[in-house]
């Protein structure tokens, strides 16, 4: 579908959803963001008459499902290790035959691992920045010199810019090593792309208008995402053929990674060449006041309540 096409809701009866669990919080490193997102989604669904209830984390949901308390789940957990984006929750819900929002087991598990997502994209002929996979204890200094500075070093399986180290000079490597030691798992070292940071929301089988992110501090870190009020969001982020190209690329990347329902694809546009390069997929994007999927949806005239309804409607 074209990025500017919109699809009206299939139904208007909130009772069709039954009793809905809005799954939020959890025990991942993104707990606080998830709680914020969850409260917003809960308020939006209730405003439309949906019988929605907050549930904090997977163990609480499991207890509720054993007792048959919910008919479907709006998943707004973020991250892994107690978050709901790594395929564990999705497998649990499929075992209980309970419909849920967002991607299934494959898309969720794959895209939580940035390295293996990139490997799938490369196999599919989709563009992504050069990178190295770093096993625990790897020599980051040697890897940075091999890949060529500047680079980003980040945990392969975290989101929301958690644990990201930027290495522009050899003097920055020690800080990146400290980050790697703190996380302990596989690390992704990715060549830094100088250019514009963009993101494309996906809703169903269409791409929403792109957003170009202009953080005052120079790069889009955790503070710029969730705290700062001076980050600029330009929507649509590109124009004409360039906008069509980024929307097509984002949708292709989303589908290649086995994703479905809704999500967000992050892309860099190299300033020197104009080339688009895929960074990662988020299968349960934030729904806070700073979040990007609601901003893109508004560009098409889809308000927050309608967006939440449209996402939940995909479970029918």
CA 265 to CA 249: how far, in whole Å? 9
The active-site residue, picked from 226, 243, 269, 306, is 226
The active-site residue, picked from 80, 266, 269, 291, is 266
For the chain, give the longest Cα–Cα distance: 60
Does residue 201 have an active-site annotation? no
Does residue 220 have an active-site annotation? no
The active-site residue, picked from 86, 158, 197, 280, is 280
Does residue 289 have an active-site annotation? no
Identify the helix (H) or strand (E) that includes residue 264. Answer: strand 262-270
CA 233 to CA 214: how far, in whole Å? 6
Instruction: List helix spans (H) across 67-139.
Output: 88-96, 105-112, 114-123
Does residue 141 have an active-site annotation? no
The active-site residue, picked from 29, 40, 103, 282, is 282
Does residue 85 have an active-site annotation? no
Does residue 280 have an active-site annotation? yes
213 DSSP assignment: E
Does residue 282 have an active-site annotation? yes
- Report yes or no: 161 and 214 within 8 Å, Cβ to Cβ: no
Q: Which two tokens stand for residue 309?
A: 């309804």
CA 105 to CA 85: how far, in whole Å? 9
The active-site residue, picked from 57, 286, 291, 306, is 286
CA 297 to CA 305: how far, in whole Å? 11
Does residue 221 have an active-site annotation? no
The active-site residue, picked from 37, 160, 210, 291, is 160
The active-site residue, picked from 28, 29, 30, 291, is 30
Which residues are annotated as catalytic? 30, 160, 226, 264, 266, 280, 282, 286
């Amino acid at each position: 579908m074209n990025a500017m096409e919109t699809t009206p809701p299939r139904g208007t009866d909130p009772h069709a959803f039954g009793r809905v669990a809005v799954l939020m919080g959890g025990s991942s490193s993104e707990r606080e963001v998830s709680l914020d997102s969850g409260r917003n989604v809960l308020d939006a669904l209730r405003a439309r008459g949906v019988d929605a209830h907050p549930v904090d984390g997977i163990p609480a949901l499991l207890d509720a499902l054993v007792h048959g308390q919910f008919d479907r789940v709006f998943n707004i957990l973020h991250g892994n290790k107690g978050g709901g984006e790594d395929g564990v929750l999705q497998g649990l819900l499929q075992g209980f035959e309970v419909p849920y929002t967002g991607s299934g087991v494959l898309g969720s598990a794959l895209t939580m691992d940035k390295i293996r997502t990139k490997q799938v994209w490369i196999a599919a002929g989709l563009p992504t920045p050069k990178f190295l996979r770093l096993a625990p204890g790897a020599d980051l200094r040697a890897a940075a010199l091999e890949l060529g500075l500047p680079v980003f070093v980040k945990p392969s399986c975290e989101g929301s810019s958690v644990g990201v180290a930027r290495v522009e000079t050899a003097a920055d490597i020690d800080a990146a090593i400290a980050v790697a030691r703190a996380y302990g798992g596989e690390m992704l070292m990715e060549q830094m792309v100088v250019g514009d940071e963009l993101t494309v929301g996906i809703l169903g089988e269409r791409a929403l208008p792109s957003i170009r992110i202009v953080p005052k501090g120079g790069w889009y870190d955790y503070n710029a995402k969730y705290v700062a009020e001076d980050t600029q969001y330009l929507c649509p982020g590109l124009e004409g053929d360039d906008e069509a190209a980024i929307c097509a690329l984002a949708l292709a990347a989303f589908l290649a990674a086995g994703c479905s329902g809704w999500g967000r694809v992050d892309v860099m546009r190299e300033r020197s060449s104009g080339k688009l390069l895929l960074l990662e997929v988020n299968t349960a994007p934030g729904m806070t006041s700073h979040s990007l999927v609601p901003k893109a949806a508004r560009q098409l005239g889809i308000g927050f309540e309608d967006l939440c309804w449209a996402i939940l409607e995909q479970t029918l």
